[in-house]
A = this chain, B = another copy of it.
Amino acid sequence: MSDESLVSTENSALHQARLAYKPPLPPSLQNIHKLTATMDNSDDLHGGLPPGDQHTLKMLFPHVYGQELMALTKTSEDHQMNPLKIGVVLSGGQAPGGHNVIAGLYDSLMKVHHDSELIGFIKGPGGIVDNKYIRITEELIDSYRNTGGFDMIGSGRTKIESLKQFQAVKAAMEVHDLDGLVVIGGDDSNTNAAMLAEYFKQENLKTKCVGVPKTIDGDLSNKYVEMSFGYDTCCKVYTNEIGNIARDGRSAAKCWFFLKMMGRSASHITLECALQSKPNVALISEEIRRDGQTLQQVVDELADVICARSHVGRDYGVVLIPEGLIEFIGEFNDLISELNRTLATKLSQTVLGVLKKAEQKIDYIESTLSAKTLKSYTVLPLEIKMQLILDRDPHGNVIVSAIETEKLIGEMVGIELERRTKEGTYKGKYNPQYHFCGYQGRAAFPSNFDAKYCYALGHVATVLVAQNLNGYLSCVRNLAKPVDEWQPYGVPLTGLMNIEERHGKPKAVIKKALVELEGEKFKLFEKHRDAWKIQDAYRYAGPIQYSGAAELTEESNFHVRCKL
């Protein structure tokens, strides 16, 4: 045999095919020279906020607050366009499609004028501050089209906050003589983009700052932004895994699978994957908070389902658990707060330093907790008790994200089932298995949807810069429809903001969207979920397909379908 395919520079066949894929564009974006931005007055962007918030926003963003929604529409005549120079940066966690935003930027810039230039700041916003960048060439772009990951220019989590940082950004804009800075990021990064836009204007820079909505979490979503990119692919990657695991579970008929679903605080990924895969149970954090459920109540309800299935001979099943769940459980939050307070005291630090054994530390911590909190702590499995006091961040706080929520739930269910076994109300066998639908999704090859969506978003970002729009978010609407009907928009970033109190100070932030319990998508889930509990209604989506019939390659997700 030949070992050609082991030569490190050779791509897989699918990789090669994806590099060659040409994402179709909506008609309006096909000829950039015929585009114009027109105000869309159909909606009062700023009217939804309380007058106090509007006032604060106006104070914080004197130059960019109050801008209007802009639709990008076709005109009949061609505009003469000058070369543009744009800098682009990736901010935060990976999301499938990031490279296609950059490809969209590049291709559209070349259409604007072949002397246009694109530079990429390296490893996130810190790269702007330090002026670390590369020039993005045709050759580079061609080796990243339709691929996953952010490795073309890297990403980072630096927040641009201090005056020194702002000044460094200004210097970078000036040294490169940039017409635009495109920030590809989530809610925090786009909040930061709005601040840069305001600063650029205040400093009379020619640079326009434009954001692009990225995040697999799906929480950058509102009336104007149908969805962030990456979410579609990630949900499809996880849905395939859920189906495979459900089918395995049903075949062997002896394991309960607890799947932790990536997606930070909100439960969007869990909800979408549930609609696509129909597991026996999917916990939705927002609903658990609304109903004021305790951890034990959540566990009891799961145990009820397990008992009911066992009763009909099904000692197996699949449960989806959003990774942010425990932050939505009141008593658990109280416990974390109290632990943080206790762990921060000098006394505790000294005592914990002296005690050698983990369990001695646990005993000590239990002796410090209030009666109510102690009750929440003592019921936890040993492993979780240890995680809560041993894994602490540099400030001494509990690292909530490090808690293996799926194990916490699965082990507590085990304790409850043991109780029921002794009581005689449960006779089944309980064999929990754990899985994390996590990192394997964030850098996957984008679905055709995300490939097209991101490519369009890149084009829109260029047009927004060309149209001198500063402090705007690149948007494409009507996403549930075929590409031909997609509508490009520019949404003023400050129109997406509200005021939240952070450390006692008012702060302008883009609101993280949680699952709307009155929304159509949740209602759909609510209507059907009971039918999935006892029956095996699993839907086996299979892996993402890139060629073949449209129903295989272009299926739209429930998130955009529910926006119709």
Q: Which residues of B contact A170 (CB under 8 A)?
A: none
Task: Given A247-B149, A546-B548, answer yes or no on A11-B440 (Cβ-Cβ < 8 Å).
Answer: no
Least distance between A242 CB and chain B CB atoms (Å): 9
- Copies of this protein chain in the complex: 2
Q: Does A85 contact B (CB under 8 A)?
A: no
Least distance between A312 CB and chain B CB atoms (Å): 15
Within 8 A of B (CB), among A513-531: 520, 524, 527-528, 531
Q: How far does the alpha carbon of A275 sit from the alpha carbon of B542 in the complex, in Å?
A: 24
Within 8 A of B (CB), among A1-37: 1, 3, 6, 8, 10-15, 17-18
B13 touches A551 (CB 8 A): yes
Q: Which residues of B contact A252 (CB under 8 A)?
A: 93-94, 150, 155
Identity of the chain B residue whose Cβ is nearest the Cβ of A434 in the assembled complex:
B436
Task: Report the stretch among A103-111, A177-185, A281-289, A533-541 that lies at the interface.
Answer: A533-541
Least distance between A257 CB and chain B CB atoms (Å): 7
- Specify which of B278, B438, B541 is in contact with A8 (CB 8 Å cutoff): B278
- Specify which of B12, B240, B545, B564 is in contact with A540 (CB 8 Å cutoff): B12
Q: Which residues of B contact A241 (CB under 8 A)?
A: 440
What 0/1 pattern do residues 63 to 87 of A give for CB contact below 8 A with B? 0000000000000000000000000
Q: How far does the alpha carbon of A249 sit from the alpha carbon of B154 in the complex, in Å?
A: 11
Q: How far does the alpha carbon of A557 sit from the alpha carbon of B247 in the complex, in Å?
A: 24
Q: Which residues of B contact A176 (CB under 8 A)?
A: none
A247 touches B148 (CB 8 A): yes
A535 touches B251 (CB 8 A): no
B564 touches A1 (CB 8 A): yes
What 0/1 pattern do residues 378 to 400 of A give for CB contact below 8 A with B? 00001100000000000000000
Q: How far does the alpha carbon of A542 sit from the alpha carbon of B543 in the complex, in Å?
A: 9
Q: Does A359 contact B (CB under 8 A)?
A: yes
Least distance between A495 CB and chain B CB atoms (Å): 26
Task: Given A1-B562, A94-B252, answer yes or no on A12-B358 (Cβ-Cβ < 8 Å).
Answer: no
B546 touches A123 (CB 8 A): no
A251 touches B542 (CB 8 A): no
Q: How far does the alpha carbon of A292 sit from the alpha carbon of B564 in the complex, in Å?
A: 63
Task: Report the stretch among A41-49, A342-350, A441-449, A499-507 that lies at the interface.
Answer: A441-449
Q: Which residues of B contact A3 (CB under 8 A)?
A: 524, 527-528
B247 touches A443 (CB 8 A): yes
Identity of the chain B residue whose Cβ is nearest the Cβ of A524 in the assembled complex:
B3
Within 8 A of B (CB), among A470-513: 480
Given contacts A357-B359, A543-B544, 18 further A-B contacts (CB under 8 A): A3-B527, A3-B528, A13-B549, A13-B555, A14-B540, A15-B541, A15-B542, A93-B252, A123-B253, A148-B244, A149-B251, A155-B251, A240-B543, A249-B439, A435-B439, A444-B543, A545-B545, A547-B548
21 contacts between A and B (CB under 8 A): A3-B527, A6-B275, A11-B540, A12-B540, A13-B551, A14-B543, A14-B552, A15-B541, A93-B252, A147-B247, A147-B540, A149-B251, A150-B251, A155-B251, A245-B439, A248-B439, A445-B542, A543-B545, A545-B547, A546-B548, A547-B547
